[in-house]
Structure 1
Amino acid sequence: MAEVASPTALSQPGGWTILRRSRVSMLALWFLVGLVFVAVLVPPFLPDELKLTSKDSLLPPGAACSASEGVIYLCGTDLNGHDLFYRLLTGAQVSLGVGFVGALLSLFVGTLYGMISGFAGGRIDAFMMRVLDVLYSVPRILFIMIFIAALGPYLTDWLDAARLWAQGHGWTTMEDLMVTAIRYSRIIIMVICLGLVEWLTMARIVRGQVLVLREMTFVTAARAMGQSNPAILRLHLLPNLATVVLTYLTLTIPAVILDESFLSFLGLGIDDPAASWGSLLKDGAQVINPLDSKWWLLFFPATLMSITLLALNFLGDGLRDAFDPRSRSR
């Protein structure tokens, strides 16, 4: 059966041209690309003295390392003698990783939920939107805390059971993978919980787009040619939602990073030995003293996180202006 061609926003060159002409959006994009490269590539090449706990606690930026001549602490050290610059980079790996993966999970759930609700219409749509309203009424942070408390022990037990099963069958690679997963189970459960909470806005936006798209001529033609509803959703509606989903993905990432940072600041998120920007802010807040301020412990994590969140929001605004005709007209 011949397929009906449907126009997609991503295939229209005008949007990409508008995005490239936006200096703020391109500057934000290059900053984010540079941050990812630095956070991933620089830490392995730093001196070993900067990666270990030392007796050089609470030294200011630029102080010399006592364990090695010629090595300096670029951003100072924390209460435990960790080099703050190294911790900032490893914290960026965790915060950006949690933000990106959590946003992807929310994108998948929200897009699927919104597409089904908008395309089904009628009572199904009304019921699914009332479910969204109920979920919106629950405080987001409280929801995440409940998820972490409820799912955390089950995930650890499941990973340990999988490790024992792999050990019994002699699958060394899988056993090592499960050991690593258990070590970082707090990060895994954080990603899952944040992804399962942040999808609500995405679902509402996708549902609104589908309500408009399902009345378009190419969808009517596809129905007339006998295409099934799943095929129409996959071949015609999903490609036309690509730019909306991409735009709000960049706007969901900072929301996930903020939630993770807030939970880590409260001591409910990332634990040592892993670090995130939120846990670094928590460590800095513990040594606040008006008589002897260790300003670098709060200044560097807060500044880096703020600039990153601004860059993500600027990039998301640029994508929305480029691919949403209604925002251009405003």
Structure 2
Amino acid sequence: MKFLLLWSDVLIFMLVIALVSFFYTLRNDPQLSARWRQVFGNRLGMISFVIMACYIAVALLDSVHFRYALDRVEGQSSDMVSYDNRVHSLLDLGMGNMGELHERTYSAPFALISFEKQNMKDANGNDIRDFPPLLHAGKHLAQPSDRGQDILQQTLLALFVGLLISLVVIAPQWWWLRHSSLPWHAAWATQAAVICLFSWALHLNSLYHVLGTDLGGADVLYKTIKGIRTGVLLGTLATLIMLPIAVTLGVAAGYYRGWVDDAVQYLYTTLSSIPGILLIAASVLLFQVYIDINPDIFEVGLQKADARFVALCFILGVTSWSSLCRLMRAETLKISQLGYVQAARAFGVSNPRIIIRHILPNTVHILLITFVLDFSALVLAEAVLSYIGVGIDSSMASWGNMINGARSELSREPAIWWTLIGAFFFMFVLVLSANLFSDLVRDAFDPRTTTGKAKA
């Protein structure tokens, strides 16, 4: 096989390394550690963090890409190796052949026959129109009537295997953290629930289509799980691109004031006056033109889709900084008038040192809260952009593309609802966990909240 490194792969590896380094360095800051301990000391915070960590783990597994070597053909040199144009990942290996179980067209969840009638021949060779049996679902059944009992038996088996895996995963954690005061029991229960859910879904999906299939016969559960990487990366990378711009301009405007403040206000006022969707759509279409006129840069189709995806993250970040910039400017204006900042100026401390030592540490709560909230908003924005046709490339799995395709399916009779439900459930869980976690971060890091609790 040949490993393939995409730009988004590099970015997610850097993100994970930065996240691990951040929590590792918390030990050197007692005050910051105490605030994060307050976040994780809440069972809801622990559960939310574990769920988000599971999403990140899936995205990380789906970011190790490779291509299989093709079999040599007659006359091919022994030194020459050709590789398949299809790109696989470690997540694909973990899910087995789920991505290869294609049917003819739509099929309902746990169905044994197609959702649409097709022209067929009966036992006598006569042309009829009926629902054909699926190619991959329920082939192990002796009779179609055994489906209900088989689903129950396979569910119990999958849950038993999931519990065994949970025991292997949680036992070392329990031995290491059993004396900790944090509510690790909530984290372990969440891990066990997630492992059992994935065990059930992967095992049942190897025998049936748990969430059915789409128009092209592709498995909906497989596409939904593959969309996790897109949702996590889009929300995170766009937010990380936005933060440096907003922080730099907001702090500069609030601290230096004068013409710097006027220039920054002019910039974000002008940006806010332009309809965001139109600005993003125009930028994405311009980059798409560059991709179309330079096809030789990309070796496989996934590299084109990845380039458009990274460009979309950058565009969303560059066009979404105005709100945070306003908040940072207002907070900096307030902090710069406080006594300890004025004393630092009187003693001749340089402006950069005042900003680094006094201004930025007192705005951390705004950054953390904005990061998590904007992450949720950008995950939802991807669905809106895909709906109008300027989102993720159609060759890359994403929840937005699934929701975009479901808009016509819901108008059918009977309606095809499972494509929308799959994308909605995974997006809902991610966004809900991020929002709940952000509330706890706000309570721990916002000085007004902390002061109010201390007085109470």
Where on the TM-score scale, by shorter chain, does this alignment land: which range? Answer: 0.7 to 0.9
Between 1:253-262 and 1:33-42, the stretch displaced more is 33-42
Q: Which of 229, 242, 253 lines up with 1:93 in the alignment?
A: 229
Partner of 1:138: 274
Q: Which residue identity lines up with residue 203 of structure 1 in the other structure?
A: C
Counterparts of 1:324 and 1:67, CA distance in 2? 54
CA contact (8 A) 2:302 2:396 kept: no
Q: Which of 311, 323, 326 lines up with 2:445 in the alignment?
A: 323
Closer/same/farther in 2, CA of residues 10 and 94 from structure 1, 3 Å limit:
farther
Counterparts of 1:179 and 1:83, CA distance in 2? 21
Closer/same/farther in 2, CA of residues 40 and 276 from structure 1, 3 Å limit:
same
CA contact (8 A) 2:268 2:322 kept: yes
CA contact (8 A) 1:53 1:80 kept: no
Partner of 2:260: 124
Q: Secondary structure at the match of 1:286?
A: helix
Counterparts of 2:209 and 2:96, CA distance in 1? 11
Q: Which of 299, 320, 327 lines up with 1:198 in the alignment?
A: 320
Partner of 2:385: 263
Q: Structure 1 length normalisation: TM-score?
A: 0.81
Q: Aligned-pair distance for 1:285?
A: 1.9
Q: Secondary structure at the match of 1:270?
A: coil
Q: Which residue identity lines up with residue 99 of structure 2 in the other structure?
A: K
Partner of 1:171: none
Residue-by-residue CA offset, 1:17-76 (whole Å, 9 max, x unaligned): 43234333332222211233245445431122x213723421122246624856222221
Counterparts of 2:354 and 2:306, CA distance in 1? 40
Partner of 1:153: 289
Q: Aligned-pair distance for 1:290?
A: 4.3
Counterparts of 2:93 and 2:329, CA distance in 1? 45
Counterparts of 1:322 and 1:57, CA distance in 2? 51
CA contact (8 A) 2:305 2:396 kept: no
Q: Does residue 57 in structure 1 map to residue 105 in structure 2? A: yes
Counterparts of 1:226 and 1:37, CA distance in 2? 48
CA contact (8 A) 1:43 1:86 kept: no
Q: Which of 7, 13, 30 lines up with 2:50 in the alignment?
A: 30
Counterparts of 2:410 and 2:252, CA distance in 1? 50
Closer/same/farther in 2, CA of residues 10 and 66 from structure 1, 3 Å limit:
farther
Closer/same/farther in 2, CA of residues 235 and 282 from structure 1, 3 Å limit:
same
Between 1:138-147 and 1:235-244, the stretch displaced more is 235-244
Q: Secondary structure at the match of 1:73?
A: coil
Which has the higher relative contact order, 1 or 2, with Cα contacts under 8 A spaced 6 or more apart?
1
Counterparts of 2:292 and 2:347, CA distance in 1? 50
Closer/same/farther in 2, CA of residues 10 and 186 from structure 1, 3 Å limit:
farther
Counterparts of 2:395 and 2:229, CA distance in 1? 14
Please tell me the root mean square deviation across aligned C-alpha atoms, in Å. 3.0
- Equivalent pairs, count: 308
CA contact (8 A) 2:103 2:213 kept: no
Closer/same/farther in 2, CA of residues 44 and 323 from structure 1, 3 Å limit:
same
Q: Which of 211, 214, 224 lines up with 2:333 in the alignment?
A: 211
Q: Does residue 245 in structure 1 map to residue 294 in structure 2? A: no
Q: Which residue identity lines up with residue 188 of structure 1 in the other structure?
A: V
CA contact (8 A) 2:58 2:229 kept: no
Between 1:280-289 and 1:148-157, the stretch displaced more is 148-157
Partner of 1:229: 351
Q: Does residue 66 in structure 1 map to residue 144 in structure 2? A: no
Residue-by-residue CA offset, 1:114-138 (whole Å, 9 max, x unaligned): 1111111123213322332232222
The runs of at least 4 consecutive aligned structure 1 residues that moved more than 6 Å come to none
CA contact (8 A) 1:156 1:185 kept: no
Q: Which of 15, 18, 36 lines up with 1:16 in the alignment?
A: 36
Q: Aligned-pair distance for 1:94?
A: 0.6
Q: Does residue 113 in structure 1 map to residue 237 in structure 2? A: no
Q: Aligned-pair distance for 1:214?
A: 2.3
Unaligned runs of 5+ in 1: 1-8, 164-174
Q: Which of 302, 308, 320 lines up with 2:430 in the alignment?
A: 308
Counterparts of 2:220 and 2:419, CA distance in 1? 8
Counterparts of 2:378 and 2:216, CA distance in 1? 28
CA contact (8 A) 2:328 2:363 kept: yes
Q: Higher Cα Rg: structure 1 or 2? A: 2
CA contact (8 A) 2:254 2:329 kept: yes
Counterparts of 1:106 and 1:146, CA distance in 2? 19
Closer/same/farther in 2, CA of residues 327 and 156 from structure 1, 3 Å limit:
farther
Q: Aligned-pair distance for 1:246?
A: 1.6
Counterparts of 2:337 and 2:273, CA distance in 1? 31
CA contact (8 A) 2:49 2:437 kept: yes
Partner of 1:45: 94
Q: Aligned-pair distance for 1:282?
A: 1.1
Residue-by-residue CA offset, 1:280-315 (whole Å, 9 max, x unaligned): 111222322442111111111112212222221221
CA contact (8 A) 1:152 1:189 kept: no
